């Protein structure tokens, strides 16, 4: 067992998960002057007209408000996806809303898109962009260290009716696209009422096409992806794949959390006590990989597919790449395995 593993199992598991998250995140941000001295590991990946420093990114959900992008990148992630950000600020669901299933190396969350809202996050990203520009102008050697790319994941505000979702996504895209390397439309969280209904292609298409138009900035076009749930039927997965090809989407992220509770080691009574929410981590491994393989078989070799869900080991990462992933993301394994996990995965999948 690693030192972090011992700390997690014997100390952090006795701490409220949401409180532990905020404490760990503060430590990551504070450590950046030291961790940032290390070079980003791995070989670059070219996708969507961008160059990612390596294959592994941090999935949305860890840094909801874009407050620690560079501290997270310093741990070895090649890209950091912030959010989910909604058009309107919202507190999320009542606490407790984050739960560990340690026997399964899994997490259940029903956070409910708690975030500061698109206006505040956009202002924060603008300040970061200006600070980075000043730093690069003052550092002649900045080009020698590849910069982790920034994804921005946007979702529907809870107070916005389903039939007005497009307007809400448009607001977020308009505010956030100028600072993003890529955008993600999230229609697959189980924690916002009615959100998953938007995965139906007849509802999804107008949202994606309107956000696409906004992401075509004056000086560049921001790539756009959609993030889907593992709980879609195979038929619906293929329908999303066909839509992505038809409208020229840049990629698909597979997958978000699941509402399934099948095959868990935790006793059913404890699972029932936890209640509703999206399950992430090891129990998701097989279905996420199957969805990814299904997508790749449908879309062909060129569309960018980002594999996420239950990637814990180097073998998991290699299996997802073999199934057709262009890039990988992690979240739950980062929580369970600790700050050295990103570099360990990236080094392990090196050719």
Question: Which residues make up each annotated binding site for substrate?
Answer: 64, 109-113, 186, 191, 256-257
Contacts 24+ apart (CB under 8 A), 15-21: 16/96, 17/96, 17/98, 17/99, 17/100, 17/107, 18/95, 18/96, 18/97, 18/98, 21/62, 21/98, 21/335
**Catalytic-labelled residue, pool 189, 233, 280, 288:** 189
How far is the C-alpha of 29 from the C-alpha of 25, rounded, in Å? Answer: 6
**Contact predicate 131/81, CB 8 Å:** no
Binding site, annotated residues? 60-64, 84, 109-113, 153, 186, 191, 227, 255-257, 281, 310, 331-332
How far is the C-alpha of 249 from the C-alpha of 48, rounded, in Å? Answer: 10
Burial of 145 (0-12, 13-18, 19+ CB in 10 A): middle
Is the alpha carbon torsion for 100, 105, 314, 153 positive or negative? Answer: negative
**Contact predicate 92/111, CB 8 Å:** yes
Tell me whether residue 189 is one of the annotated catalytic residues. Answer: yes
Nearest Cα to Cα of residue 349 among 307, 320, 323, 309: 320
**Contact predicate 321/56, CB 8 Å:** no
Binding site, annotated residues for FMN? 60-64, 84, 153, 186, 227, 255, 281, 310, 331-332
**Quick one: tokens of 139?**
């550092």
How far is the C-alpha of 16 from the C-alpha of 180, rounded, in Å? Answer: 32
Count of residues making up the chain:
351
SS3 84: strand
Nearest Cα to Cα of residue 108 among 293, 296, 331, 288: 331
Residue with tokens 């999320």: 92
How far is the C-alpha of 263 from the C-alpha of 106, rounded, in Å? Answer: 12
Burial of 309 (0-12, 13-18, 19+ CB in 10 A): buried
Catalytic residues: 189
């Amino acid at each position: 067992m690693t030192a972090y593993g011992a700390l997690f199992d014997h100390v952090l598991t006795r701490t409220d998960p949401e409180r532990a998250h905020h404490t760990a995140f503060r430590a990551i941000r504070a450590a950046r002057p030291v961790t940032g001295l290390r070079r980003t590991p791995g070989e670059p990946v070219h996708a969507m007209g961008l160059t990612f420093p390596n294959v592994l990114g941090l999935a949305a959900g860890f840094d909801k408000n874009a407050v620690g992008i560079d501290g997270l990148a310093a741990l070895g992630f090649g890209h950091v996806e912030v959010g989910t950000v909604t058009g309107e600020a919202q507190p999320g669901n009542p606490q407790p809303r984050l739960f560990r299933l340690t026997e399964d190396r899994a997490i259940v969350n029903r956070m409910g898109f708690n975030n500061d809202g698109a206006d505040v996050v956009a202002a924060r990203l603008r300040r970061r962009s200006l600070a980075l520009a000043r730093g690069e102008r003052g550092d002649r050697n900045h080009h020698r260290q590849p910069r982790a790319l920034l994804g921005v994941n946007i979702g529907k505000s809870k107070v916005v009716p389903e039939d007005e979702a497009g307007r809400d996504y448009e607001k977020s895209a308009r505010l956030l696209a100028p600072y993003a390397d890529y955008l993600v439309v999230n229609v697959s969280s189980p924690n916002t009422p009615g959100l998953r209904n938007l995965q139906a292609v007849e509802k999804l298409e107008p949202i994606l096409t309107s956000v696409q138009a906004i992401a075509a900035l004056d000086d560049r076009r921001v790539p756009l992806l959609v993030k889907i749930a593992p709980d879609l039927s195979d038929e619906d997965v293929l329908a999303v794949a066909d839509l992505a090809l038809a409208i020229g989407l840049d990629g698909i992220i597979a997958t978000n959390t699941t509402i399934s509770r099948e095959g868990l080691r935790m006793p059913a009574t404890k699972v029932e006590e936890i209640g509703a929410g999206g399950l992430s981590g090891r129990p998701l491994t097989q279905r996420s990989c199957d969805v990814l393989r299904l997508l790749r078989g449908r879309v062909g070799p060129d569309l960018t597919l980002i594999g996420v869900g239950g990637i814990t080991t180097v073998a998991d990462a290699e299996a997802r790449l073999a199934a057709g992933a262009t890039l990988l993301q992690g979240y739950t394994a980062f929580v369970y395995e600790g700050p050295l996990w990103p570099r360990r995965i990236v080094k392990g999948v090196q050719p």
